[in-house]
Amino acid sequence: MEPREISQAVIGRLPRYLRYLGDLKDEGIERISSQELSKLMKVTASQIRQDFNNFGGFGQQGYGYNVEHLYEEISNILGLDQKHQLIIIGAGNLGQALANYMNFERRGFIIKGLFDNNPALHGKTIRGISVQPMDQMEEFMKTNNIDIAVLTIPKTSAVEIAEKLVQYGIKAILNFAHVDLNVPAGIQVENVHLSDSLMKLSYNLSCYNKEQ
C-alpha cells in the first residue's frame, strides 16, 4: 500500500463509488458484484476491480463485495474517518451559500470560521458562525487547528490571500477564484471554476449542433 502511487484518476472516482455504495447501503443491500455495480454506474467491471485493488482486496471470489465493508474502506481511504476544520474566505453570496450548506458537516468537514474584508459583513452570523475581518485569520487558524480553506473571493486578491494562508499553515485549499494559485508542493489545491464548466457545455452544445 503505497498511497502516493495511486493516480488521481482513481482518487477522483472514489467519491462516486462512495455515493453509490451509500445508496445501496440505505436500500439495505448487503453484497454487490463488480458486474452489478458496473451496470449501475456505467463503468466497466474491470475498472471497478482495478480501482479497488489499488488498495488491497476488498472482495471475495465467488461472492463479490460486502457493501457496508466496502463503504467503510473507501470512506477511510478518503480520510473521512477524520474531522477537518475549515474556514471560508469571502463571505459574499457564494461564501454564505457554502456556509449554509449542512451536508459537509456530515462528512466531517466542519466550518469553523468565515472571513471577509467588507466591514458591512463583520459580525453577521451564519449558522452560528460570525464573519470576521481578514486580519484575524492568522490568530484564528492557530487556535482552531484549521486545515482546509475555501476561497470564495475575487481573483484579484485570491493569489495574495492564498500565499498568506500557506504562510499561516493551511494544508489544503478549495479554490473558487478564477485564477491559478501558486502554492508550494505539498499544499493541496482543488479548483472549482464554474465558468470553465459553462464553457465546456457551450463547446459541446455548438459541437453537437454542427453534427446535425
CB-nearer residue toward a copy of itself: 143 or 206: 206
Pick from a copy of itself, DNA, none: which does 18 bind, CB < 5 to 8 A by kind?
a copy of itself
How many chain residues bind a copy of itself (CB under 8 A)?
Answer: 59
Choosing from 34, 89, 96, 131, the residue that interacts with a copy of itself (CB under 8 A) is: 96
79 lies in the binding site for a copy of itself (CB under 8 A): yes
Choosing from 18, 21, 34, 132, the residue that interacts with DNA (CB under 7 A) is: 34
The stretch near a copy of itself (CB under 8 A) out of 29-37, 43-51, 53-61, 77-85 is: 77-85
Query: How many degrees, rounded to 5, is the angle at CA 31 between CA 29 and CA 35?
Result: 110
7 lies in the binding site for DNA (CB under 7 A): yes
Pick from a copy of itself, DNA, none: which does 57 bind, CB < 5 to 8 A by kind?
DNA
Whether residue 14 contacts residue 77, with contact meaning beta carbons closer than 8 Å, is answered with yes
Q: How far apart are CA 35 and CA 52, in angstroms?
A: 13
Choosing from 139, 145, 169, 194, the residue that interacts with a copy of itself (CB under 8 A) is: 194
Residue by residue, DSSP assigns the chain as --GGGS-HHHHHHHHHHHHHHHHHHHTT--EE-HHHHHHHHTS-HHHHHHHHHTT---EETTTEEEHHHHHHHHHHHTTTTS-EEEEEE--SHHHHHHHH-THHHHTTEEEEEEE-S-GGGTT-EETTEEEE-GGGHHHHHHHHT--EEEE-S-HHHHHHHHHHHHHTT--EEEE-SSS-----TT-EEEE--HHHHHHHHHHHHHHHHHH-
53 lies in the binding site for a copy of itself (CB under 8 A): no
Choosing from 44, 60, 100, 118, the residue that interacts with a copy of itself (CB under 8 A) is: 100
61 lies in the binding site for DNA (CB under 7 A): yes
Binding site for a copy of itself (CB under 8 A): 3-4, 8, 11-12, 14-16, 18-19, 77-80, 82, 84, 92-94, 96-98, 100-101, 103-104, 107-109, 147-148, 171-172, 174, 178-180, 186, 188, 190, 192-208, 210-211
Residues of the shown chain interacting with DNA in the complex, contacts defined by CB under 7 A: 7-10, 32-35, 43-47, 49-50, 52-53, 57-65
